[in-house]
Structure 1
Amino acid sequence: MEVTSKLVNSANAIAEAKIDAKSIEERVNKLAQKAAKQVKVDGFRQGKVPVAVVLKRYGKELEGDAKQELFKEAIDKALNELGKKPDELLGDPGFSKFEENENGIDAELELSFKPTIDVSGYEEAISEYATPRVTKKEIEAKIEEFLTMIAPLEKIEKDVLEKGDFAKFDFEGFVDGVAFEGGKAEGFVLEIGSNQFIPGFEDGMVGLKVGEEKDINVKFPAEYQAPNLAGKDAIFKVKLHEIQGKVVAKELDDETIKKMMPGEEDASKEKLEERLKTQIREDKFQKLLNEELKPKFVDAVVEKINFDLPKSIVEQEIDFQFRNAWNGFSAEDMAKFREDKDALTAKRESYRADAEKSVKLTFIVDELAKVRNVVVSDQEVVQAIYFEAYRYGVDPKAHLEDYRNRGVLPAVKMALIEEKLFNDLFSKNKKEEKGE
């Protein structure tokens, strides 16, 4: 086996591997001899199976294994020749050439490595910004929002149910005339217009009078979580018992202030307003960061910091973006791409610029995180996933296991590092706060 390698640039290399037929045959025989001691074949004692029998029965698989081993050795030789370690290799090597005949295999392998990145001067891309101002009116609105949230529901005298009202009613759902499990409740309370129920249900209740009964026709979404109901037409029989509304307190009392400041000693309206002011300012900063500061910084550093991109990672990102976009294509486009390979290749290629920017930014963020000592622990990753699970009302342990099974925990960690990095980048670059 002959292997020669050369660097294309600092992040990519080409390894030419010539594997002669004799080397392949010898490796196949070696694997067959090893397999002969382990496989079970009727008519032979285990460990006494003739190599010829193994070759006849498993020759194709053994040949594949032999080639795989030889290419692995070729890659190891190339890495050694290039002065690279195996853990510097990124992604799976790809073939830019593969020719096989009776004399053996002539191939070219594309190898990619983590690029060397110089992020010096990145500070110039960090925009200065004014600390977001918080008004008294915004603090009062936040208090009113909380008071509305905790306000008790009471029966209100009203003729007709409208959006924004709370309905107390009974319902039972039927598909093909048969009641389905989980589709019945009595005395259920629902805010009309909150979109808690499937599309069309709450709109169908608008206009109902107390004591009135009605059949509401709806269609379950195609992606509904219960497979037996997904995409099905259904009828809900409803009866409205009462129209309710929230009775919102006009001002804060001591008990409510304590509810809004759990664990706070000497809770007071002044302390509450100061805490809300900090929260509102942080919310405004996050909005400013995500909509203005971060995009501007990203464009600047991607333009300013240049380095060679590992080809294998770029190709993976192109495939990822193309797969994500596939379901958004029209049926006509899908059919065209299945039949026309040139059109498919051209469409995939259209994602290259965005993929290169995404890969470039990922490496820049990784390097900046090291420069600024920004780290995210595994515990922080778990906490973030648990928090997401609680927000969506799913089992946190199952949610974490799903992420682990799909192999996306590193991506979650990278997203958290990026979030923490950008907060760190801009937290010390604000102008003096103006009076409020």
Structure 2
Amino acid sequence: MKISVRNLEPTKVRLTITADAEELDPYLDAARKEIGKQVSIPGFRKGHVPGKIIDQRVGFGSVVGEAVNNGVPELYSKALAEKEIHPMAQPKLDVKEVPESADDETKLKFTAEVEVRPKFELPAVEGLEIEVAKPEVTDDDINTRLDALRQRFGTLVGVDRPAKTGDYANIDLDAKIGDESVDAQEGVSYELGSGTMLDGLDEALDGLSAGEETSFEGTLEAGDHEGEKAQVTVKVNSVKAEELPELDDDFAQDASEFDTLDELKADIRKQSEADAEGRQATVARDAFIARLQEGVDIPVPKGVKDEMLAEREKNAQGNPQAPEEDKETAEQAVEKELRDQIVLDALSEQLKITVTQADVTNFLASIAQQYGMDPSNFINAIVNNGQLGSAVQEVGRSKGLLAGMRAVTFKDTDGKVLDLSKFLGDEAAEEEQESVEAASAAAAVADQLAAKDEATEEE
């Protein structure tokens, strides 16, 4: 097989692949056998029709078409492996030449344009030292958690004064456009300052007492008149303030399993310190990835970036809770995500990371659990949708990241070596698992699912 590679962009190449006759022949033979199973030719049993008869009766064009459909993707994959090219998207394939008959010496020739991982040099991770800020837990952190706990046990009591931020007002609302009432609600409980209803409502309620009302202009945020301006009248029926319990031993006994406030505070500090260690591990991870990218120019594939931006925008439109972000912010986020992926892929390759069957199944099962889905059904859907390769790639990145971080020395700002082993896992346990290549892992998962499906049907 002859392969030529032309760089179109820093992250895009065109491969021109020419396959010799002996490389196309197995696909031609397989195509003839498959076609022979589907056609009836007098004098021959299905599946036992000689290849020459298939060529004559069905036509060599059909045979070579089937062979090209099956052969081009495999030959393309072989070419990528031979040239050590790492694709980041599906290729654009274009068949240029095919033999027109079994005796035609024309070779199969096709091109493949594909966005690829850029080439760059990663630093060796062995011996790297990275400084990470010390996790600090202050008295303010403890008090913040205590206040949150107090709010869970707080009660609302009526007050005879004007409403202010933090109060809860029971209100009636009537929104009009012209003389027509387009939205009316009664007895709604609303927390002043929360900003969860109409724009301008907080300002209108501030300073009103029970029995008072006012009007303001607001923009309707739902219903048939969403986005339109309306004149809104709001009446306050009652004002209630949140009353929090005293911080004492009685509160500790009501809110926890502890007998004293000091014991409760000690437990909250312990939890806060554990959370701080987790944040420090996250900071260490980010610092590690950033160190790998220091001084390295990593261009991102434009097409992949555009697809990710489009998907990000689509997800944001379907999620009302998603924060708004401008185009520049979105592009920066996507570019960072892509560069991190590219670096971790290169790191996994540098560290010769392998993916195990258990890695893949555990990864997918954990995602299924997060979404409350049946793991078998979820994995089956992943396999059927052709997304298993992406899952295997994610597992490889994760394993590469952990292995790389284990090889690095992390220190705090005082020079003390950090022990992140509880977050990085046990390398020895991973090595005991049977390693398989990514493709083998994918096939094993698919076989496992098929076996489960058969067992279910038999039951």
Tell me whether the two structures share a fold, i.e. TM-score over 0.5: yes
- 1:382 Cα offset (Å): 3.4
1:322-351 residue CA offsets vs partner (Å, 9 max, x unmatched): 546989xxxxxxxxxxxxxxxxxxxxx999
How far apart are 1:195 and its partner, in Å? 1.4
Instruction: Indicate the SS of the match to 2:301.
Output: helix
1:380 aligns with 2:366: yes
Q: Match of 2:165?
A: 163
> Aligned partners of 2:313, 2:145: CA distance in 1, in Å?
42
Report what 1:46 is aligned to.
none
1: CA distance between counterparts of 2:186 and 2:367? 38
Alpha carbons 2:116, 2:301 under 8 Å: kept:
no
Describe the shift of the 1:214–1:36 C-alpha distance in structure 2 as closer, same or farther (beyond 3 A).
farther
Distance change >3 Å, CA 79–CA 178, structure 1 → 2: same
SS at match of 2:169: strand
| Equivalent residue number for residue 194 of structure 2 | 194
Q: Please give the alpha-carbon distance, in whole angstroms, between the structure 2 residues aligned to 1:407 and 1:213.
A: 60
Equivalent residues of 1:5, 1:78 under 8 A apart: no
Q: Is the 8 A contact 1:169 1:242 kept in 2?
A: yes
The Cα of 1:93 is off from its aligned counterpart by: 2.0
Structure 1 segment 306-345 matched on structure 2, within 5 A? 314-321=301-308, 323=310
In 2, distance between residues paired with 1:90 and 1:358? 13
Q: Any conservation in 1 of the 2:14–2:111 contact (CA below 8 Å)?
A: no
Alpha-carbon distance in structure 2 between the residues aligned to 1:370 and 1:127: 22
Counterpart in 2 of 1:146?
149
Select 1:257's aligned residue among 236, 252, 256: 252
Structure 1 residue 185, shift from structure 2 partner = 3.4
Distance 2:411 2:355 in 1: 15
Which one of the candidate residues 90, 94, 104 is aligned to 1:92? 90
Q: Tell me, in whole angstroms, the C-alpha distance in 2 between the residues paired with 1:132 and 1:118.
A: 32
Equivalence map 1:398-409=2 (5 Å): none
Determine the C-alpha separation between the residues in 2 that align with 1:79 and 1:407: 16
| Cα drift, residue 211 of structure 1 | 0.3
CA displacement at 1:242 relative to structure 2: 1.7
Deviation of the 1:192 alpha carbon? 0.5
**Percent of counterpart pairs with the same letter?**
15
Q: CA deviation at 1:232?
A: 3.4
Secondary structure of 1:197's partner? coil
8 A contact 2:150–2:245 mirrored in 1 = yes
Match in the other structure for 1:14: 15
Checking the alignment, whether the CA contact within 8 Å between 2:128 and 2:409 is kept in structure 1 is no
Q: Looking at both structures, which has the greater relative contact order when contacts are Cα pairs under 8 Å and sequence separation is at least 6?
A: 1
Q: State whether structure 2 residue 208 is matched by structure 1 residue 232.
A: no
Instruction: Give the alignment of 1:70-89 within 5 angstroms.
Output: 70-80=68-78
1:4: which partner in 2? 2
How many pairs are equivalent?
350
Match for 2:111 among 108, 113, 118?
A: 108
* CA shift for structure 1 position 92: 1.9
Equivalent position amino acid for 2:291 in 1: A
**Offset from partner CA, 1:228-276 (integer Å, 9 cap, x none):** 353233454432022221222331333x324543xx5x55434422332
Question: Deviation of residue 193 (structure 1)?
Answer: 0.5
Instruction: Please state how far the C-alpha of 1:174 moved relative to its aligned partner.
Output: 5.3
Gaps of 5+ in 2: 21-32, 41-60, 101-105, 315-330, 418-459
Query: Are positions 1:279 and 2:238 aligned together?
Result: no
Check whether the contact 1:5–1:82 (CA below 8 A) recurs between aligned residues.
no
Quote the Cα distance in structure 2 between the aligned partners of 1:99 and 1:168: 74
Structure 1 residues 316 and 155 mapped into 2: Cα distance closer, same or farther (>3 Å)?
same
1:317 Cα deviation from its structure 2 partner? 2.6
Q: Which amino acid is the alignment partner of residue 252 of structure 2?
A: I
- Shift in alpha-carbon separation, 1:352–1:251, aligned structure 2, 3 A: closer
CA distance in 1: counterparts of 2:272 and 2:278, whole angstroms: 10
Residue 130 of structure 2: SS of its match in structure 1? coil
| Pair 1:242 & 2:244 matched | no
- Mapped to 2, the partners of 1:237 and 1:304 lie a distance apart of 60
Aligned partners of 2:341, 2:157: CA distance in 1, in Å?
55
1:80–1:122: structure 2 CA closer, same or farther, 3 Å change rule?
closer
| Residue number in structure 2 paired with 1:336 | none
1:194 deviates by: 1.0
Alignment of 1:41-60 (within 5 A): none
* Alpha-carbon contact 1:7-1:82 (below 8 Å) kept: no
The structure-2 alpha-carbon separation of the partners of 1:77 and 1:249, relative to structure 1 and needing over 3 Å to count, comes to: closer
Contact 2:16-2:109 within 8 A present in 1 as well: no
Partners of 2:409 and 2:220 lie apart in 1 by 46
1:172-221 CA deviation, whole Å, 9 max, x = no partner? 455672445xx5231x3221011121322222322323201334432134
Output the CA distance in 2 between the equivalents of 1:272 and 1:350. Answer: 43
Instruction: Output the TM-score relative to the length of structure 2.
Output: 0.54
> How far did residue 384 of structure 1 move?
3.5
Q: Would you say the 8 A contact 1:318–1:355 is kept in 2? A: no
Q: Which residue of 2 aligns with 1:133?
A: 136
Structure-1 separation of matches of 2:201 and 2:62: 58
The gaps in structure 1 that reach 5 residues or longer are 20-29, 38-62, 328-348, 387-395
